[in-house]
A = this chain, B = another copy of it.
Amino acid sequence: MSDNNRIELTVLGRCAALPCRKGNQSGQILSLHNKLMLIDCGEGTQSLLRNNGFSLARINHIFISHLHGDHMLGLPGLLSTLGMLGKKGAISIYAPAELKTYLDQQIAFFGGDFGFPIDFHSFDPFHSELIYEDKTLTVKTIPLKHTMPCCGFLFEEKSKPKHINRERCDFYGVPISQYNNIKAGLDFVNEKGITIPNEQLTTPAEAAKKYAYCSDTAYTEKIIPYIYNADCIYHEATFLSKDAKRAKETQHSTASQAATIALKARVKKLIIGHISARYSNFEELRKEADAIYKGAILAEEGKTYII
């Protein structure tokens, strides 16, 4: 990531559970504020990270949506590799509680220790929770509608500070010690008691960005309040509408349904993924989504999208 203020999403795997020549199982990297956050970790994710030029050592936060194999079977290998690479600092994993049992079994089987601590943060997949927060970012869960408890994740930047207009601040004699207050939006009162309005001393902050990962899920409008007006959502679109019956049975979405959600939630960018291996031409899914949500994007593996 060249620009630290930019949020970038790299899709590692865009396919549903069955292995397929056109892609890999679920996994993506959100790169923001000098952090790499891994979202889901299907089999082969560690190789895809390497092949896409990500340093494994920089991954300290992993979010797992649910416990179907195609979303988490890459974890044991990735964690084992991090141990072999000499990782010592903790890694944080955010997932339904049952994943801890699974990881504990893996750890016991492979010798009792990956070589570094795992900070496991379980969440209740039936309610939205704030699961991560730092100075610049929050992550909340988005309960989805699937054959097993499953959550999406909403990554939201906090309001960003305004930019100091250095020339104006110098003109009005604002001391550097006041800059943080000015950036936060306060006006400046000078020695003579005169108030200089904040707008004269600053230029506006960049808008805080909002990205939502929504996989796996049947069509549900309950997620709209969470993702409303998001800068980008990744929504699963496992099936074409002609297979809507199968989508309903397996609690997945069609491309049309993904697009309908994006339209109703007025999101600014829609990327569809988690495509079923049954389709020989993924372009058909993009077209179906595009007919409802103009500009819908079919996820390309290894491609980086700017949020």
A interface vs B, CB < 8 Å? 17-21, 24, 43-44, 46-47, 49-51, 67, 69-70, 73-74, 76-77, 80-81, 84-85, 98, 101-102, 105, 109-110
Complex CA distance for A47 and B80, rounded to whole angstroms: 20
Residues of B close to A51: CB separation below 8 A: 21
Which chain B positions have C-beta within 8 A of A20?
50
Tell which of B18, B74, B84 touches A85, judged by Cβ atoms closer than 8 Å.
B18
Contact B69 A80 (CB under 8 A): yes
Give chain B residues whose Cβ lies under 8 Å from the Cβ of A85: 18
- A163–B73 Cα distance when bound, in Å, is 50
Copies in the complex: 2
How far apart are the CA atoms of A136 and B80 in the complex, in Å? 40
Given contacts A17-B80, A43-B46, A105-B109, 7 further A-B contacts (CB under 8 A): A17-B81, A19-B46, A43-B43, A43-B47, A69-B80, A73-B80, A98-B109
- Min distance, Cβ A239 to any Cβ of chain B, angstroms: 15
Query: Given the complex of chains A and B, what is the CA–CA distance between A110 and B69 in angstroms?
Result: 8
B21 & A74 in contact (Cβ 8 Å cutoff): no
A102 in complex: contacting residue of B21, B47, B84, B109, CB < 8 Å: B109
A84 touches which one: B18, B24, B77, B80 (CB < 8 A)? B18
Instruction: Tell me if B47 and A19 are in contact (CB < 8 A).
Output: yes
Q: Which residue of B lies closest to A101 (CB)?
A: B109
Cα A43 to Cα B41 in complex, Å, equals 12
Find chain B residues with CB under 8 A from A17 CB. Answer: 80-81, 84
Q: How far is the CB of A287 from chain B (nearest CB, A)?
A: 26
Q: How far is the CA of A74 from the CA of B43 in the complex (A)?
A: 8
Q: How far is the CA of A84 from the CA of B110 in the complex (A)?
A: 27
Query: Closest chain B residue to A44 by CB distance?
Result: B44
Give the residue name and chain of the B residue nearest to A85 (CB): B18
- Partner pick for A43 among B77, B101, B109, CB 8 A cutoff: B77
